[in-house]
């Protein structure tokens, strides 16, 4: 009994010490925003004196910018200063930043010159972590990762600075603090709302504290700040605390899914990193629009799948081995999913796929996704991850043959080499022909019509591809 009492006492003492530690941590995580600014002394002039007499005003010695108030700055917490210009939002951020020397200010985030984005974001973390951060900041394209910061658009630059700051803030055991002034200003409102939604999710998932300033209250329903400071003129300040909810981005309520055609893919052709990849024999196309007759913002293409896939045979117990009629009747492949850059990273993709999978009209839908290891969009849509595809022996033989010829598919002059060297073109053509034959048939005839540039591009895509294989099966709840 004595031992039990001792254990109870030690447990209570431990809890008390833990409570003290938590309270101490909370005390450290409180920022005070009260401040006043002394007016800058100006030289006397006849104009100044005339304005003062005309309007009956005189320069003040001191003006209160922000009333004194404690603001919680905690892991996973988003604090938003909201108000029009001149109400003290930027001053409030400066006051908060002065109390947290290790905070990361997005506006002052610098990028190294002549370094690709993938090397500048989370440089001390693993490659998979860097790709994950970029994808979560709606920069989930390999082509973007290989660009330098100066080559990006204004919206992409903001997301890149955010990704770089998150990379630094995620280092070490202690959560980091992000400071963002003029949040998402100057961006298309659709993009601004998407970024706000992404930032809310990133703060929650990574335990980051975020303090930002904005004069756009249309983003607040997506941002869902834990603490909202509505700044008025003078000493007026409204302090609102609210727990964020798990919900879809606001734009999802305005999106419509419509049937499309293969031609609709032309509008999204350049938005996908594999611009040279074929769609195969297209079965159904679905378009995501912003309202009835609105802009097309996404496309989902379902096609007939390749004749042979090892992981398909494994997952279906060989149901489609040597049975193409059954395969064409019961199986489709999700060949292409593309979203407008404004919608990326905020959970629209998996909702789009989840809605269209039952509309494909078959028992099974499969998908091969090169980004599957980084972005679990298809798993979130309800598909089952089967495994990573291995390089087929025939393909590996050709890759070895190209290597023995001394050609590097990743070199800038690979296209020229394919054009000038007959043996190299023959090897590249053989691999591309195999792929054509498996997806759309007529491999040799199609290869003969392709330019050296297109063959080289297709070859590069194929050898670098180790996609994740996903499978979805219709159940009773999906309907007939």
Task: Give pLDDT tens digits for 253-310.
Answer: 999 999 999 999 988 877 665 555 578 889 999 999 998 889 999 999 999 998 889 9
Give the whole-number percent of the chain exceeding pLDDT 90.
37
The answer to whether residue 332 scores a pLDDT higher than 90 is: yes
3-state SS, residue 170: coil
**Of the ranges 5-19, 62-76, 99-113, 454-468, which one carries the lowest mean pLDDT score?**
5-19
Place of tokens 């961006």: 187
Q: Return the C-alpha torsion angle 37, 41, 42, 48, nearest 10.
A: 80
- Superfamily (CATH H level) for 63-249: P-loop containing nucleotide triphosphate hydrolases (3.40.50.300)
Task: Give pLDDT tens digits for 365-413.
Answer: 999 988 777 778 999 999 999 999 888 788 889 888 988 998 888 787 8
**Of the ranges 20-29, 46-55, 423-432, which one carries the lowest mean pLDDT score?**
20-29
The string over 345-365, giving b where at least 16 C-beta atoms fall within 10 Å of a residue's C-beta and e elsewhere, is: bbbbbbbbbbebbbebebbbb
Structure-model confidence comparison of residues 295 and 14, the more confident one: 295
What is the mean predicted confidence (pLDDT) over 341-356? 91
CA-closest candidate to residue 372, choices 245, 246, 265, 465: 465
Q: What is the mean pLDDT of the chain?
A: 83
| Strand runs labelled E in 160-207 | 177-180
3-state SS, residue 24: helix
What is the mean predicted confidence (pLDDT) over 326-349? 92
The answer to whether residue 5 scores a pLDDT higher than 50 is: no
Every domain of the chain and the residues it spans: 63-249, 251-362, 393-463
Task: Give pLDDT tens digits for 111-159.
Answer: 998 899 999 999 988 888 888 888 878 787 878 888 999 999 888 898 8
Q: How sure is the predictor about 474, in pLDDT bands with cuts at 50, 70 and 90?
A: very high
The answer to whether residue 433 scores a pLDDT higher than 80 is: yes
CB 193 within 8 A of CB 253: no
Determine the pLDDT at residue 448.
79
Task: Give pLDDT tens digits for 269-279.
Answer: 776 655 555 78
Q: What are the tokens at 216? A: 């756009």
Domain 251-362: assigned CATH number? 3.40.630
pTM of the model: 0.75
CB 331 within 8 A of CB 364: yes
H/E stretch holding 237? strand 237-241
CA-closest candidate to residue 345, choices 224, 152, 167, 199: 199
Determine the pLDDT at residue 410.
77
- CA dist 133 to 115, 181, 372, 427, Å? 17, 21, 15, 37
What is the mean predicted confidence (pLDDT) over 240-257? 90
Distance CA 436, CA 426 (A): 15
Can you say how many angstroms the Cα of residue 168 is from the centroid of all Cα atoms in its chain?
17
Distance CA 406, CA 393 (A): 20
CB 293 within 8 A of CB 264: no
Q: How sure is the predictor about 37, in pLDDT bands with cuts at 50, 70 and 90?
A: low
């Amino acid at each position: 009994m004595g031992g039990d009492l001792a254990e109870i006492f030690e447990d209570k003492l431990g809890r008390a010490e833990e409570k003290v530690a938590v309270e101490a941590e909370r005390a450290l995580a409180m920022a005070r925003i009260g401040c006043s600014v002394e007016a800058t002394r100006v030289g006397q002039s006849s104009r100044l004196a005339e304005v003062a007499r005309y309007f009956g005003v005189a320069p003040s010695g001191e003006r209160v910018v922000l009333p004194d108030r404690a603001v919680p700055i905690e892991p996973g917490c988003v604090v938003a200063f909201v108000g029009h210009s001149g109400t003290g939002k930027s001053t409030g951020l400066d006051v908060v930043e002065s109390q947290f020397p290790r905070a990361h200010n997005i506006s002052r985030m610098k990028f190294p010159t002549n370094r690709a984005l993938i090397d500048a974001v989370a440089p001390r973390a693993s490659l998979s972590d860097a790709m994950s951060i970029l994808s979560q900041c709606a920069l989930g394209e390999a082509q973007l990762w290989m660009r330098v910061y100066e080559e990006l658009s204004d919206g992409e630059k903001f997301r890149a600075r955010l990704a770089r700051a998150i990379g630094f803030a995620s280092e070490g055991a202690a959560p980091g603090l992000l400071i963002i002034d003029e949040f998402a200003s100057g961006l298309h409102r659709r993009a601004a709302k998407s970024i706000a939604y992404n930032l809310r999710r990133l703060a929650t998932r990574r335990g980051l504290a975020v303090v930002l300033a904005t004069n756009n209250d249309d983003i607040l329903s997506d941002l869902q700040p834990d603490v909202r400071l509505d700044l008025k003129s003078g000493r007026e300040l409204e302090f609102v605390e609210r727990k964020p909810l798990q919900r879809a981005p606001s734009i999802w309520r305005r999106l419509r899914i419509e049937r499309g055609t293969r031609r609709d893919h032309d509008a999204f052709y350049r938005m996908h990193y594999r611009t040279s990849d074929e769609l195969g024999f297209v079965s159904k196309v679905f378009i995501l629009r912003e309202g009835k007759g609105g802009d097309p913002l996404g496309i989902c293409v379902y096609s007939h799948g390749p004749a042979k896939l090892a992981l398909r045979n494994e997952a279906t117990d060989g149901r489609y081995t040597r049975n193409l009629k059954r395969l064409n009747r019961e199986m489709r492949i999700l060949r292409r999913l593309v979203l407008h850059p404004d919608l990326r990273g905020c959970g629209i993709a998996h909702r789009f796929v989840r809605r269209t999978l039952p509309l494909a009209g078959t028992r099974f839908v499969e998908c091969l996704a090169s980004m599957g290891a980084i972005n679990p969009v298809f798993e979130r849509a309800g598909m089952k991850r089967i495994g990573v595809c291995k390089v087929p022996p025939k393909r590996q033989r050709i890759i070895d043959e190209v290597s023995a010829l001394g050609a590097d598919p990743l070199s800038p002059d690979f296209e020229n080499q394919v054009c000038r060297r007959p043996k190299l073109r023959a090897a590249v053509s053989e691999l591309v022909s195999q792929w054509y034959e498996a997806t759309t048939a007529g491999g040799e005839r199609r290869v003969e019509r392709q330019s050296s540039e297109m063959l080289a591009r297709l070859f590069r895509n194929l050898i670098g591809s180790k996609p994740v294989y996903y499978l979805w099966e219709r159940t009773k709840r999906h309907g007939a």
